Amino acid sequence: MYQLLYYWLNIEGDDLKSKKNILGNKEGWDLMSEEYQVSSDISVEDIHYSPLSFGEKSANLIGNVVGKKYVELGCGGGQNSIALAKLGADVTAVDLSSNQLTHAVSTCRNLGISINLLQANIQTLNYFPNNHFDGIISAFSLEFIEDIGTFFSESNRILKNRGQLILSTTHPLGAFEWDTESKNLLVTNYFNPPVEIWKEQGQISPGFTYFRTMEEIFSNVTENGFTIKKLLEPKPLDLNKELLSPYKGDYWTEFRDRLNAIPFAVVIQAVKD
Ligand SMILES: C[S@@+](CC[C@H](N)C(=O)[O-])C[C@H]1O[C@@H](n2cnc3c(N)ncnc32)[C@H](O)[C@@H]1O
């Protein structure tokens, strides 16, 4: 069945500052997990890339995964990993948050799905060998990583030759303030996107969400040994098709207008050079 391995207690080599940042993100996600999992309706039948939008069944980014070794970096409740495993991949899923992983464990158990679950920091992937995976998938986790250069060079290292990276992360415009009355986005300085420092109720160390310009994301991928094949800015599905989205629920529907005007995610399909 599933296997849960703990690497968290052995995190070594991260500098103290980075350790403090990940501690806050871990604490925050542990506190947020239950509500997030209840209020988001995340499919285990299709891979999601963006809220209220299409999934892999329409996007066709990944191709045939039967017998291929995939790793999901920042797996949360494990839904994308489970969907990949159902397609026949041999999946390892990594996350920092105990509560997010607990959710993944119980879903795997209920569905009788077998994936390897690992609790670790995804900024440095020193717990994986070189040239090991056929593919990496990561959805809405890069934005919690301070040093994305290291994330991409490490991702490149653990992929086999021509291995693919499928990444979905917050679109830079998603960083800025939405004026609900005028239904307009306020962008005061695109070239200097904010770092959001946040705390859930009862949280001791703050969490950090890092927003990046398109150029910064694009350059960090290509300068770390990848060729970008596709870049998508998904729109929500039409209202009458919204139920087909693998990523929906109350958490997202209140933002429907905004998501229809401003992309929430940037999705990148890249291949190791
Ligand atoms: C927005 S959730 C996305 C989860 C999942 N991919 C999804 O789409 O539902 C972000 C996840 O990133 C994880 N995370 C944040 N920083 C991390 C880090 N440094 N290492 C590993 N996981 C991290 C959090 O615990 C959380 O589960």
Ligand 1 neighbourhood includes 32 CB (under 6 angstroms): no
Whole-number pLDDT of residue 110: 96
pLDDT for residue 5: 47
Class of domain 3-272: alpha beta
How many angstroms separate the alpha carbon of residue 153 from the centre of ligand 1? 19
Distance 97 CA to ligand 1 centre (A): 7
**What pTM does this model have?**
0.94
Cα of 93 vs centre of ligand 1, distance in Å, is 11
Output the six-digit token pair for 85. Answer: 């495993």
The answer on pLDDT for 21 being more than 80 is no
- 250-256 long-range contacts (CB < 8 A, ≥24 apart) are 250/39, 251/36, 251/39, 251/40, 251/51, 252/40, 252/51, 252/52, 253/52, 255/51, 256/52
Q: Say whether pLDDT at 62 is over 70.
A: yes
Residue 270: beta bridge partners?
165, 228
pLDDT at 17: 56
Q: Whose CA is closest to atom 9 on ligand 1?
A: 76
pLDDT at 18 over 80: no
Ligand 1, atom 13, residue with closest C-alpha: 74
Res 10 pLDDT > 80: no
- Of ligand 1's listed atoms, the one at least distance from the Cα of 97 is 25
User: What pLDDT sits at residue 183?
Assistant: 81
| CA 251 centroid distance within chain | 17
What pLDDT digit, counting tens, does each position of 137-148 carry? Answer: 999 999 999 999
Q: Name the average pLDDT for the chain.
A: 92
Q: 131 and 159 in contact (C-beta within 8 Å)?
A: yes
Residues 215, 192: contact at Cβ < 8 Å? no
pLDDT in tens, 156-194: 999 999 999 999 999 999 888 888 888 888 898 999 998
Which stretches within 172-238 are classed as H helix? Answer: 214-222
Per domain, the residue ranges of the chain are 3-272
pLDDT, residue 32, reads: 96
| Ligand 1 atom nearest residue 48's Cα | 8
- Pocket of ligand 1 contains residue 128 by CB under 6 Å: no
Q: What is the pLDDT of residue 248?
A: 96
Give, using CA atoms, the residue closest to atom 1 of ligand 1. Answer: 140
Q: What percentage of the chain reaches a pLDDT higher than 90?
A: 83
Hey, CA dihedral for 29, 32, 37, 42, is it positive or negative? Answer: negative
Q: What is the mean pLDDT of residues 79-103?
A: 97
Does the pLDDT value for residue 263 go beyond 90?
yes
What are 197-255's pLDDT values in tens digits? 999 999 999 999 999 999 999 999 999 999 999 999 999 999 999 999 999 998 899 89
Q: How far is CA 257 from CA 39, 173, 237, 242, in A?
A: 18, 15, 12, 13
Pocket test for ligand 1, best of 6, 14, 21, 25 (most atoms within 8 A of CB): 25
Give pLDDT, residue 8: 42
Closest residue CA from atom 15 of ligand 1: 144
